Amino acid sequence: MPRPLGIIFAALAAGAALAAPPATLRVDYYHTGTAQAESFAVDRVVVEPLPWPGNLAKSIDDTNRGKFYFEVVDRATNRVLYSRGFSSIFGEWEDTPEAKTSSFTSSESLRFPMPERPVQINLKKRDGQNAFKEIWTFTLDPKADTVDPSLPPGPGGVIALEKNGDPYEKVDFLILGDGYTAAERGKFEKDARRMMELLFSKSPYKEHRKDFNVWGICPPARESGISRPSTGIHRRSPLGCTYDAFGSERYVLTFDNRTLRDVAGYAPYEFMEILVNGQTYGGGGIFGLYGTVASDNAFGPYIFVHEFGHHFADLADEYYTSDVYYETGKARIEPWMPNVTADPKHPKWQALLTPGIPLPTPWKKAEFEKDSHAYQKERRQIRAENRPESEMEALMKREEAKETVHLGQDTWSGKVGAFEGANYEATGYYRSQTDCIMFTRDQVPFCAACQGAIEQIIRLYAK
């Protein structure tokens, strides 16, 4: 039987060998509110099918990532047993114009090793200066009869796409399929392996491949594809993924957190990416929640790596000329995301700066913006006229080719400095290099700041 967290910690302190990991406890809860106020309510507490996959020696998160942060505190000793930062769908929605006039409810989850006795759960959120402030707290008795150990419906077999060690020693990454029929299970596995290889072709994932296990689950769909409401397409896919999230035609999310968690619980995981079976350009990524990508789009490889960067390491978007679904223009306070800064004279990545580089660092910004805005105008026209996806892909390939030349041949290209334009804003925020996977779709590496941030998260999970 899985051993509770308190006993595990005692064994670790004594240097004893562990016979078995603790169970995985999950709290599903509702997060409701507007841009002005929010409230919380526990939905259910469940024991997941598999033991805790994480490294119990690394239970405290000190990376300062995410809009939210939760702690599991032993009631008897007030000792923090487990903590993690994360972001959420509600956290994104509250920055949309709709949040000023409407209410929204999101299902969310907290997962942690089974404690041996009552604990207090403290949920914190960034305030206006990005400091964490407590917004909700409740107590939980793991022995209460309301804790549900029953198994949810099985989603089908788990595929070991790549196994490099025991789950507690590795970063466990789960790739899920949505909108694949039973007859398309082979296609899902092929798509998942293709995306996995692409991820591990990029530094620093390439150098840390042995620190990962990769798993796959693909619950069968009744019909191929997922919903795209803006074009009248509606599907009841197993995981509930849909385009047009928050009114953005390319933003793919699932709002069915309960089902997603029940399916994912059949594999060891800390991170998960959902491959949606379709060609239309789209994807999304939320730190500590999941990433999504349209598997058959020509730019699927870029989307996969880019969105996984959001989900895995809380990387900010470095681009600023594309349309976004929420309001910008707020005060330029220092972001918590590790790859953007409001202080070009003293950026977070100061130790990586190219010696002698000017701060802020000049680049051909006006020329880039002119070209980019022209492409955005053409893109909106293609979508408004519902023209074939092949036209959109051709436009993006032209844009990619131009950006590769423009950003690769500037005075400080390839150097580490502080280049203005990032975090959806043309002014006031800075990125570390002229180009990056988080900035454009051209085939470039992660910038220096992003690579360092990714490695920090790997160290948090891998033994």
Say how many C-beta atoms besides its own lie within 10 A of residue 95's C-beta: 17
Confidence at residue 4, expressed as pLDDT on a 0 to 100 scale: 44
At 174-193, the pLDDT tens digits run 999 999 999 999 999 999 99
Residues 59-99: tens digit of each pLDDT: 999 999 999 999 999 999 999 999 999 999 999 999 999 99
What was the pLDDT predicted at 13? 37
What are the residue ranges spanned by the domains of the chain?
5-148, 159-313, 350-455
Q: Which range among 8-17, 28-37, 380-389 has the greatest average pLDDT?
A: 28-37
Share of the chain above pLDDT 90, in %: 81
- In this predicted structure, what is the pLDDT of residue 392? 83
Residue 367 to residue 375: CA distance in whole angstroms: 13
- Provide the pairing of β-strand 159-162 with 171-178: unpaired
The more confidently predicted of residues 347 and 389 is: 347
Q: Where are the alpha helices (DSSP H) in 229-299?
A: 257-264
Q: CB–CB of 339/447 below 8 Å?
A: yes
Distance CA 25, CA 46 (A): 6
How far is the C-alpha of 145 from the C-alpha of 76, rounded, in Å?
21
Listed range (7-11, 49-53, 112-116) with the worst mean pLDDT: 7-11
Residue 416 has pLDDT above 50, yes or no: yes
Q: Kindly list the distances between the CA atom of residue 411 and the CA atoms of 104, 358, 416, in Å, as whole numbers in the listed order.
A: 47, 11, 12
Q: What is the pLDDT of residue 327?
A: 54
Mean pLDDT across 389-410: 81
User: For position 381, what pLDDT does the model report?
Assistant: 87
Task: Check pLDDT > 70 for residue 105.
Answer: yes
Q: Do 56 and 285 form a contact (C-beta atoms < 8 A)?
A: no
Question: What is the pLDDT, as a whole number, of residue 9?
Answer: 40
Give the residue among 447, 451, 409 at the shortest CA–CA distance from 430. Answer: 447
Average pLDDT on 27-32 reads: 98
Q: What is the dihedral of CA 224, 227, 229, 231, to 10 degrees?
A: -20
pLDDT of residue 384: 85
Sign of the torsion formed by the C-alpha atoms of 227, 396, 316 and 113: positive
| Tens digits of residue pLDDT in 117-175 | 999 999 999 999 999 999 999 999 999 999 999 999 999 999 999 999 999 999 999 99
Secondary structure class of 93 (helix, strand, coil): helix
Same fold yes or no, 5-148 and 159-313: no
Q: What is the pLDDT of residue 1?
A: 39
- The mean pLDDT value for 301-319 works out to 96
Q: How confident is the model over 194-209, as pLDDT tens digits?
A: 999 999 999 999 999 9
Q: Which residues of 328-352 are buried (b: 16+ CB within 10 A; e: fewer)?
A: eeeeeeebbbbbbbbebeebbbeeb
Q: What is the pLDDT of residues 339-388, one digit of tens each?
A: 999 999 999 999 999 999 999 999 999 888 888 888 778 878 888 888 88
Indicate the pLDDT class of residue 329, thresholds 50, 70 and 90.
low
Query: Is the per-residue pLDDT at 269 higher than 80?
Result: yes
Q: What is the pLDDT of residue 18?
A: 52
Q: Is the pLDDT of residue 115 over 80?
A: yes
Q: Band the pLDDT of 16: cuts 50, 70, 90.
A: very low
pLDDT at 226 over 60: yes
In one-letter notation, the amino acid at residue 437 is I
In the CATH scheme, what is the homologous superfamily, with its name and number, of domain 159-313?
Answer: Collagenase (Catalytic Domain) (3.40.390.10)
* Average pLDDT score over the chain: 92
pLDDT higher than threshold 60 for residue 400:
yes
Q: How far apart are CA 24 and CA 21, in angstroms?
A: 9
pLDDT at residue 273, rounded to an integer: 98
Specify the CATH number for 5-148; select among 3.20.20.70, 2.170.190.11, 3.40.50.280, 2.60.40.3250: 2.60.40.3250
